[in-house]
Structure formats: C-alpha cells, structure tokens
Amino acid sequence: MIIMESETKTPSCEAPVESGEALELNPWHQAMEQLERAGAQMRMEPLVLERLRHCKRILTVSVPVRMDDGSLAVFEGYRIQHNLDRGPAKGGIRYHPQVSLDEIKALAFWMTMKCAVVNLPYGGAKGGVVCDPKKMSLGEVERLTRRYTSEISIIIGPDKDIPAPDVNTNEQIMAWMMDTYSMNIGYSCPGVVTGKPIEAGGSLGRREATGRGVFYVTRELANVRGFDLRKAPVIIQGFGNVGSNAAKIFAEHGCKVVGVSDVGGGLYDAKGLDIEDIAAYRSKHDTIAAYSKAEHIGVDPFLEVPCDILIPCAMENQITHRNAPKIKAKYIIEGANGPTTNEADRILNARGVMLVPDILANAGGVTVSYFEWVQDIQAYFWSEKDINARLQDIIVKAFREVYDLAQKERTDMRMAAFMVGLSRLAKTVRIRGTFP
C-alpha cells in the first residue's frame, strides 16, 4: 500500500473479528494454536505460555520516500521482537504488498521457535514494509531501505536485533541497511545485519544456506525412513533464493527434481528438469513462465502433481484444507515459513503424509546467519567447506532430536519440533525469572 502525501488514512488499531477460513489463513492465529497445542501436550506451566503468547516489542513506523517523479509516498513498516530470553533477536525483513502486523508477529514467533529448535543463542524477530518493490526503481528501493533502517535503528543493533534478507530483499538491501546504521552511529558495524555481500562482511555459503539446510533435512529423512533419495521425485514450489538453491543442490546430489514453479506457474518433466538451464532462463527473464523445455502446469494444481517429496518454498498458507486432500506427495519439507495451515496439517496427518516443519526444515538460513554474525564480531572468516560442515552438523543433530522425540511420543514432526523448542525456552524463562 502506498499512501500519498495528500491522503490521510487512519487504520483501526483493533483487528476485525475473523472466523472460518479467515482464521485458517491468519498466521498469528495459526501460530498461537500451534503454541497452545504443544503447551498442552507438554503440560507446560502457564507462566511460560503466557510469556510466549505476547511479543516483547512491536514497532510500527511511517516510512516517507521521495519517488522518482518528485512525489512523496509514505509506506508502513514494522519491526517486531517476539522474545529475547535466549539472546538478541534475529529475523528477516520482507518487502511485499501483503505484509501485515499479524503476519510479522507470527513470523517473529516462528523465528523464536526455530532458533530454539536448532539451539542458537537468539530470540525471534521479523520486519517488513508494505510495498511492491517490483513496481519501484532501484533508487526508490534504496531510499525506502535507508529511511526504514533509520526508523527501526532505535531497536536494532549487533547486540540487540540483527535483521537479514527475506521475501523481496537481498544482499544489496542488507548492504544499504548496514551502511545506513553505520553512518548513524559513526563507525562501520557489519554485525548489525546478516546476508550481506562478501565484500561488506558477509559469509561464504549464506546465499545457499536455507536451500542447503532443506537438502540436509531431506537427506536425513531418507536415511531414517529407508528410501533412496536419488529415486524419489522432488517437486519444489517457489523459485526464489530458497527454492532455486534447493533445486540446484538436490540436482547436484543426483536427485530427480521433476517440478519447479514461481508466481507465473509451474514446470514439470517426469524425467527430471535441467535446473541450471531453468535458473539461467529465470536470471535473464525474471520468471520461468515462458520456459519452453518442459510441460507447464498452473499455479493451483502444481502442488497436487504426483511426487514423493514436495517442498513448498514460497509464502504462507499454500497448503490449506482445500488442497491438502489432493496432495499426492509422501513427504512434505517446509522450505517456506508457515506454508501449511493447521487444518491442512490435520488432514495430512490423517492421510499418513509425513511433514517436516518450517522451524526445523528451513533453519539453515538462520544457522549460517549466526555463523556470519560470529565471524563479523570476531573479524575472522571461515572457509565455505567449514561453514557447510558446521551447518550439516547442526541441522542433522536437530533433525535427529526432533525425529526421535516424534517416534517416542508417537506424534507428528511439527509437534515434536515445538516440544524441543519449548523445552529449551521454558528452561531459560524459569532460570531468568520475571523482572522486577
């Protein structure tokens, strides 16, 4: 949403009452339902649950930007810190027309859980600006980024809250954020954000980290379930940073990626797609919609194409009660945050589809962001081989812990992941107590 200088819009502070399908698609409602279910399963004491039902800080900012035509547009931005009990806040920044307060709150909560599941010394945060960067010039995006960074600088910092890339943000935007923060404090501070270019203090392996973590999780799943990953057809929804890198890494390891998609639709070839060729095409055309060397499938039916492994790497609420009964995959690996609604979870569980949840499956990104932050603080940088080995160790250990608990408790992987994360959070909350 863009509000021009001449307009005056005062949004209500109270969220409308939602019911039915609207509740299924509300990320914050979904997140809190997951928390309550896991808390009940663990018989968690009310003190811990009450702490986690609330975000520690919610900052809403007005972001005025001078546009190329000389007009002034005012965008709304958010930075939300859900919990800081285990360390400074960590979470991405997204630019998207559908960014909302409830979405950012939910994403911050899931980051808290994700960091606890893989045992990183972070709490969860998330940020976003309501905008469509694809309709803005590079200069407009830079001015938006720098003003937004200045507005949220009161709560971010290398010891307080460390942003990272997310939907429609990238290394360049992180470099502008780092530079803006550094100019405001008077010295270079590379540790204020992660996901930066190598030349600005970024880490080797960070760009591919989320997709690589998805692969490590899937490979470990194949090991414990006893199937050959190279013979299991894979479909990946979303061909942005996470999806494209996951597709490349699966293909590099001899796996058969039979389907990929972006917002323009999907591509399918039962014999396996040429991922490098598709990536080169997308780099040139910014979409795969007109790629001619594969069968085209519409956006809606794409998730229902037969495969062994389905990896949603796009946005939230892609798998709902409407399409969950039609999904033919045996395993779902959540590369995106919140792609499956709770109602869809129940349907998939009843059908025997095993799902590896986002707070475990896509934790590779925040793990290597942690590595980048540590390297920035130490001013000592590691080799990519070392980074990938450390990432594999952390992801495999976390997967085994969650899988073993799921088997022991005879529950699904999402519940087990929440139980692992909540257990760590609860211990910290008890030890630290409540101030004053």
Identify the three-state secondary structure at position 130: strand
pLDDT in tens for each of the 436 residues of the chain? 344 433 333 333 344 445 578 888 999 999 999 999 999 999 999 999 999 999 999 999 999 999 999 999 999 999 999 999 999 999 999 999 999 999 999 999 999 999 999 999 999 999 999 999 999 999 999 999 999 999 999 999 999 999 999 999 999 999 999 999 999 999 999 999 999 999 999 999 999 999 999 999 999 999 999 999 999 999 999 999 999 999 999 999 999 999 999 998 999 999 999 999 999 999 999 899 899 999 999 988 999 999 999 999 999 999 999 999 999 999 999 999 999 999 999 999 999 999 999 999 999 999 999 999 999 999 999 999 999 999 999 999 999 999 999 999 999 999 999 999 999 999 999 999 999 9
Query: What single-letter DSSP state applies at residue 45?
Result: -
**Interatomic CA distance for residues 302 and 54, integer angstroms:** 36
**Furthest-apart CA atoms within the chain: distance in Å:** 64
Query: Could you confirm whether domain 203-382+390-430 is CATH 3.40.50.1860?
Result: no
Closest residue by Cα to residue 92 from 72, 117, 122: 122
328 catalytic per annotation: no
Q: So what's the pLDDT on residue 18? A: 56
Q: Which residues contact 134 (CB under 8 A, 6 or more apart)?
A: 168
From the CB of residue 281, how many other CB atoms can be counted at a distance below 10 Å? 18
Contacts of 154 (CB under 8 A, 6+ apart): 59
Which residue intervals of the chain bear CATH 3.40.50.720?
203-382+390-430
Nearest in space to 41 (alpha carbons), one of 427, 421, 428: 421
* pLDDT on residue 19: 58
> CA-CA distance, 351 to 340, in Å (whole number)?
15
**Tell me, what's the pLDDT at 15?**
45
> Looking at the chain, which residues constitute the CATH 3.40.50.10860 domain(s)?
45-200
Structure tokens at 10: 């005062």
Of the residues 90, 126, 248, 256, only one is catalytic, namely 126
Model pLDDT, residue 13: 39
CATH number of 45-200: 3.40.50.10860
